[in-house]
């Protein structure tokens, strides 16, 4: 069966995208999707960067919701549009993040780590603060710390996100086995607390032979530890990336023992056969 729902999408409402929401939806329809969930970035306390505007990931939720509801109505009967958010977790904005989720009627909440001690692995400067192995361990420690503090989310976003941007690019430090002590703690906490994993295909949009986030070994281990909920997301910031690599993601999920994936309605999970 085709994966019919893309549950990790960004538009011009996120500081790192210029994509019109209507263009994203039209492409989703062309790709045969039955459902799309926009998950615009909300990363409070994001540091100033030379290539981004000020406060690039402080989301105007009201403007975002108004536009989404307009297109939800316009495309009714053609594709289901869901109202989501991707919360960037940091202890410094814990209470603000809780308030944002509590005061809005989101269908779906992704919790992600984009910043570790105020630095983003996307930038080379992140990798100069110690050995690459130490940087990975700090990232996974920060992930576990934050999901224990902030529990009002549905899935953890792109668990090994930083492996996309490791510097130097030919470094082979990362593997599940190398960091399984840290990763298993994260996966067990998610499974024990009914949280899911965002199976993220962003890497596959530019490299069909690339490794998704998280890698297949992590997905398999999540299942072994009792994990039940997985969602599929392209993390597309432009129409061309929508549902990228979803056939491969489906094969990986099946090989890891999953028989269902999930969509969400007002924060309640809905199962679908793989």
- Does residue 48 carry a pLDDT above 70? yes
Q: Which of 26-40, 45-59, 119-133 has the lowest mean pLDDT?
A: 45-59
SS3 content of the chain, % helix, strand, coil (to 5): 40, 20, 40
Sign of CA dihedral 16, 267, 205, 114: positive
99 sits in the region (left: phi over 0; alpha: psi -120 to 50; else beta) called alpha
Mean pLDDT of the 61-79 span: 98
Rounded distance between C-alpha atoms, residue 59 and residue 81, angstroms: 19
Q: Is the pLDDT of residue 51 over 80?
A: no
What is residue 47's predicted lDDT score, i.e. its pLDDT? 85
Place of tokens 């490299």: 207
pLDDT of residue 1: 65
pTM: 0.96
- State what percent of residues in the chain have pLDDT above 90: 85
Give pLDDT, residue 49: 79
What one-character DSSP code corresponds to residue 167? S
Mean pLDDT of 210-222: 96
Tokens matching residue 5: 């729902």
Contact 93, 42 (CB under 8 A): no
Tell me the per-residue pLDDT of 159-191, one tens digit each, with 9 for 90 and over: 999 999 988 888 888 999 999 999 999 999 999
Instruction: Say how far apart CA 274 and CA 271 lie, in whole Å.
Output: 9
CA distance 89 to 79: 30
CA dihedral of 187, 191, 194, 200, whole degrees rounded to 10: 50
State the pLDDT at residue 130: 81
How far is the C-alpha of 201 from the C-alpha of 232, rounded, in Å? 8
Q: Which residues pair with 42 in a beta bridge?
A: 87
Q: What is the pLDDT of residue 52?
A: 78
Distance of alpha carbon 34 from alpha carbon 25, whole angstroms? 11
3-state SS assignment for residue 256: coil
Per the structure, the count of domains in the chain is 1
- pLDDT value for 41: 97
Average pLDDT, the chain: 95
Tell me the residue range of the domain where 25 lies: 5-273
Which CATH number do you get for residue 265?
Answer: 3.20.20.140
């Amino acid at each position: 069966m085709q994966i019919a729902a893309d549950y990790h999408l960004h538009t011009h409402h996120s500081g790192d995208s210029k994509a019109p929401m209507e263009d994203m939806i039209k492409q989703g329809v062309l790709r045969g999707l039955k459902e799309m969930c926009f998950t615009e970035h909300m990363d409070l306390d994001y540091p100033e960067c030379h290539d981004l505007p000020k406060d690039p990931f402080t989301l105007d939720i009201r403007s975002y919701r108004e536009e989404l509801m307009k297109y939800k109505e316009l495309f009714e009967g053609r594709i289901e549009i869901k109202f989501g958010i991707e919360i960037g977790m940091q202890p410094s904005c814990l209470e603000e993040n809780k308030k944002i989720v509590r005061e809005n009627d989101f269908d779906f909440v992704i919790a992600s780590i984009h910043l570790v001690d105020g630095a983003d692995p996307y930038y080379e400067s992140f990798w100069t603060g110690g050995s690459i192995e130490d940087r990975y361990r700090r990232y996974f420690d920060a992930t576990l710390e934050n999901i224990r503090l902030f529990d009002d989310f549905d899935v953890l976003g792109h668990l090994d996100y930083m492996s996309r941007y490791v510097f130097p690019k030919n470094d082979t430090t990362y593997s599940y086995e190398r960091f399984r002590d840290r990763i298993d703690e994260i996966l067990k906490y998610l499974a024990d607390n009914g949280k899911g994993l965002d199976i993220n295909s962003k890497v596959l949009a530019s490299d069909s032979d690339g490794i998704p986030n998280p890698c297949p070994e992590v997905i398999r281990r999540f299942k072994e530890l009792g994990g039940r909920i997985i969602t599929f997301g392209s993390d597309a910031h432009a129409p061309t990336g929508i549902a990228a690599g979803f056939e491969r993601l489906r094969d990986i999920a099946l090989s890891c023992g999953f028989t269902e994936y999930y969509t969400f309605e007002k924060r309640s999970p809905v199962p679908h056969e793989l």
